[in-house]
Structure 1
């Protein structure tokens, strides 16, 4: 029976809306990167958090720093992005929004513009190879870099939104939630919104962000990443929940990431339950499938087994995720049609 269940989750067509590019690098790709850069002396256990292991948020961000050392050329980025896209496709993901902070490296000549161009090149290559997945890109602001860099990032995202044939659709706000305050980034985020970029903001990842969350929800964002401490049962407030509900802002929920990163004590206490029971739009996501040693099929299976969701409820959860994507309505309609076509196969 368990094998049959595994097959159902693999066959289930899925939407992934919260996937950091460098955090999604698999063991197989890490092997290739390490072999290219033996002088760094990086070991596998420095790039992923294995089964049963947990880390503090700070330790998780240290893992990302190690991965960034391995990915510092256009060639690396192209390989990483191509591998990540193909791995999501192999896991039954039909629509993917990747996100990443543009980086530069004086030693290799990498520029932020070339960084984004290379990710777009990988998306186009996969499309040309007819990989069965539709991919879009969110340019990320790392909150640690301050307001000036944030504004530069928005201008870069704006350029690519106009020049990438619809592949760059939005902006992500992420980075260490314990650093800085969102109020300083408001001008950049407001500019992004005004120029037509969709906003996905990491909100309330830690309890100390309540005031910031209240402020940023006034924009309002188009989606929320995590939202771990928004609701009153975990120290948030009803007024924050009211704002989220009033604006119908979908949440991107990442179960394994939150438990392994120690912001949620266990799967049974994950805030998915709160929002799902409320009937609020919630999308199951991976966050960093490489770092947290997971994939989207596993995340759906976890949600189902933890919260008692049957196959029909899981299917509906997956189908409703289509309404939360940042691509145009025409693509939403195409994806819904694809779900209809695939349903008999998944339930056979």
Structure 2
């Protein structure tokens, strides 16, 4: 029981959370009640314990959720719920990411979409929710160069008008669709305007050449990076470039195992990068779809790879250095970690975590 308390009370940073994939069972039920005509069951929106899906099947789940979240009102509700749920899991800093969508039937525009997320962040702050939230505007790789450029322009606009809430660009979407090469002009434009870049990279084995191109930018963080290193079909030159530039990896254990890009927790590439001493931020990816939360992901990392509580604490604390908000925010977060540490590390530790 003390273990559960430790991981729940551990202050955490979440840097890889897709908004629609993070919608909880409770929020999905509210959406289903609003739209009974869609005949969607909750089981169609989540991958439960012991279940696995192909990457294609995972993206089909996201399409179902998009049907439920198709208005500004829906986005405001789910973003508010997601922020509160992360805060309840003692996440102190959260970067949400989502691709702005337009829906003719509801009158939703891409601009409205981003405005709804920002409104949710502002309302939670006004209500005193103990979490600092930022937003990454996502480029869906399947939509090509022109849409990517439009997305960057939208992100630039909100970077200037949101009071620092929009901090970067995410490149995501089905990794088997679209070409990273086509998106380089938009990503370069984003970087030149001051937006940070978090890029899904080497999520599937066939992306080695694309990874080389994207590393030339370079990104500020890498999403997944599953197949970068030689043991997974990548190359030492890719690893060297990531290490030389000290680019943090966003690590999503449950997501990778349930989505079958990694065969088991013990085979997860977290071990390779952690043993190198490379910056790794433990993340959820899609806490709703994969039925997890960040405290659970830290506990999984610890139990799988034999991390002591002190090592877990350090892993959590070092994730603060990977955030896209400014130095002032980093210092405020580090102060919180300093205040919490003495009481939390006094909790008795289970024997299997004394390695």
TM-score (norm 1): 0.99
Q: Find out whether 1:23 has 2:31 as its counterpart.
A: no
Counterparts of 1:168-183 in structure 2, within 5 Å, are 168-183=166-181
- Equivalenced residue count is 346
Which residue of structure 2 lines up, in the alignment, with residue 212 of structure 1?
Answer: 210
Q: Quick one: distance in 2 between partners of 1:314 and 1:251?
A: 16
Counterparts of 1:53-64 in structure 2, within 5 Å, are 53-64=51-62
- Residue among 112, 122, 141 paired with 1:124: 122
Which residue of structure 1 lines up, in the alignment, with residue 281 of structure 2?
Answer: 283
Deviation of 1:268 after TM superposition, in Å, equals 0.2
Deviation of 1:223 after TM superposition, in Å, equals 0.1
SS in 1 for 2:292: coil
After superposition, give the CA deviation of every residue in 1:272-325 in whole Å (9 maximum; x if it has no partner): 000000000000000000000000000000000000000000000000000000
Counterparts of 1:1-348 in structure 2, within 5 Å, are 3-348=1-346
Deviation of 1:271 after TM superposition, in Å, equals 0.3
Deviation of 1:147 after TM superposition, in Å, equals 0.6
Q: Quick one: distance in 2 between partners of 1:73 and 1:171?
A: 22
SS in 1 for 2:330: helix
Judge conservation of contact 2:27–2:78 (CA < 8 Å) in 1. Answer: yes
After superposition, give the CA deviation of every residue in 1:108-148 in whole Å (9 maximum; x if it has no partner): 00000000001000000000000000000000000011110
Deviation of 1:347 after TM superposition, in Å, equals 2.0
Judge conservation of contact 2:16–2:97 (CA < 8 Å) in 1. Answer: yes
Q: Quick one: distance in 2 between partners of 1:120 and 1:279?
A: 35
**Structure 1, unaligned runs of 5 or more:** none
Deviation of 1:153 after TM superposition, in Å, equals 0.1
Q: Quick one: distance in 2 between partners of 1:240 and 1:64?
A: 30
TM-score (norm 2): 0.97
SS in 2 for 1:171: strand
Deviation of 1:346 after TM superposition, in Å, equals 1.5
After superposition, give the CA deviation of every residue in 1:85-118 in whole Å (9 maximum; x if it has no partner): 0000000100000000000000000000000001
Deviation of 1:180 after TM superposition, in Å, equals 1.2
SS in 1 for 2:32: helix
After superposition, give the CA deviation of every residue in 1:23-51 in whole Å (9 maximum; x if it has no partner): 00000000000000000000011000000
**Structure 2, unaligned runs of 5 or more:** 347-355
SS in 1 for 2:228: coil
Q: Quick one: distance in 1 between partners of 2:340 and 2:165?
A: 25
Q: Quick one: distance in 2 between partners of 1:345 and 1:6?
A: 15
Deviation of 1:344 after TM superposition, in Å, equals 2.0
Which residue of structure 1 lines up, in the alignment, with residue 353 of structure 2?
Answer: none
Deviation of 1:345 after TM superposition, in Å, equals 2.6
Runs of 4 or more, structure 1, over 6 Å off, are: none
Q: Quick one: distance in 2 between partners of 1:180 and 1:117?
A: 27
Judge conservation of contact 2:19–2:97 (CA < 8 Å) in 1. Answer: yes
Deviation of 1:334 after TM superposition, in Å, equals 0.5
After superposition, give the CA deviation of every residue in 1:216-239 in whole Å (9 maximum; x if it has no partner): 000000000000000001100001
Q: Quick one: distance in 2 between partners of 1:281 and 1:247?
A: 11
